[in-house]
Amino acid sequence: MTSTQGLSLQSDDQYTEVGELYREQRIGGGSVGWGAKAALLIVDFQHLYTRGRASTGLEAVENTVPLLAAARANGVPVAFAVVGYEAEAVPDDHAWTMKCPGLLEARRGSEASSVDPLIAPIDCEIVHVKTVPSALFDPTVRDAFRSAGVDTIVVAGTSTSGCVRSTVVDGVSHGFRMIVAVDCVADRSKPSSDAALFDIDTKYGDLTTSAEVCAKFTQIGADA
């Protein structure tokens, strides 16, 4: 499992210093590793955030294409989460849309809320439409994964500092081993992304690359 050591965020002295402080206080330093069964969860790679007004770009989506193919080829469960709202069902005091009113552009069934065509879901895959940051706050995905015997979730998606981070925190809170494929996540802000990845690696999950995840998925398929 790749740690943040050697990743781009470690070139910043502040993370080196904080990392040393955390280690002295026995915060971080461990690894969740791979459990008995893995799944892939792709968060908010929908048109609004890949090609639309609030785009974080396509590079991470493109890096997710082989990851998704490896999951499908080797029997790894896959789920997607997208932001989507019913126009008449959003209360005036809905805190997240009060803070980020642009979210309301993602209407259920609209292009803005549709998964990017580069990684379009197939019929057997869950597409969870959410109205909160975390893809695991609602029981839909986590219950489906639990029913399939999943204990390890690999996360790709956007934004790293927003919905990806909150998904990882909720995942570990519900007892899953959380792993982030760092080249398959995106953010508008490098400082925010670096801070989120540092926090995830230190406290909540493991960081790795899509190549390493693909190799693991291939091993899973061979062992099945």
Give per-residue burial for 44-75: e unless 16+ CB within 10 Å, then b. Answer: bbbbbbbbeebebeeebbebbeebbebbbebe
Confidence of residue 27 (pLDDT cuts 50, 70, 90): confident
CATH code for the domain of 165: 3.40.50.850
Cβ-based neighbours of 46, under 8 Å, separated by 6 or more: 82, 83, 106, 112, 113, 114, 115, 116
Percent of the chain topping pLDDT 70: 92
Asked if residue 200 is part of any domain, the answer here is: yes
**Average of per-residue pLDDT across 199-219:** 97
Asked if residue 28 is part of any domain, the answer here is: no
Asked if residue 3 is part of any domain, the answer here is: no
Does the structure show a pLDDT above 50 at 2?
Answer: no
| Integer Cα distance of 4 and 10 in angstroms | 7
124 is catalytic: no
Asked if residue 130 is part of any domain, the answer here is: yes
Does the structure show a pLDDT above 90 at 217?
Answer: yes
Q: Which residue has the higher pLDDT, 11 or 152?
A: 152
Q: Each residue of 144-189: pLDDT tens digit?
A: 999 999 999 999 999 999 999 999 999 999 999 999 999 999 999 9
Q: What is the pLDDT of residue 91?
A: 66
Q: Each residue of 57-101: pLDDT tens digit?
A: 999 999 999 999 999 999 999 999 999 888 777 667 677 777 877
Asked if residue 30 is part of any domain, the answer here is: no
Q: What is the pLDDT of residue 18?
A: 82
Select which of 124, 163, 184, 214 is catalytic.
Answer: 163
Asked if residue 210 is part of any domain, the answer here is: yes
Q: Residue 94: helix, strand or coil by DSSP?
A: coil
Asked if residue 204 is part of any domain, the answer here is: yes
Asked if residue 92 is part of any domain, the answer here is: yes
Q: What is the pLDDT of residue 216?
A: 98
Q: How many domains does the chain have?
A: 1
Range of the domain at 200: 8-21+47-223
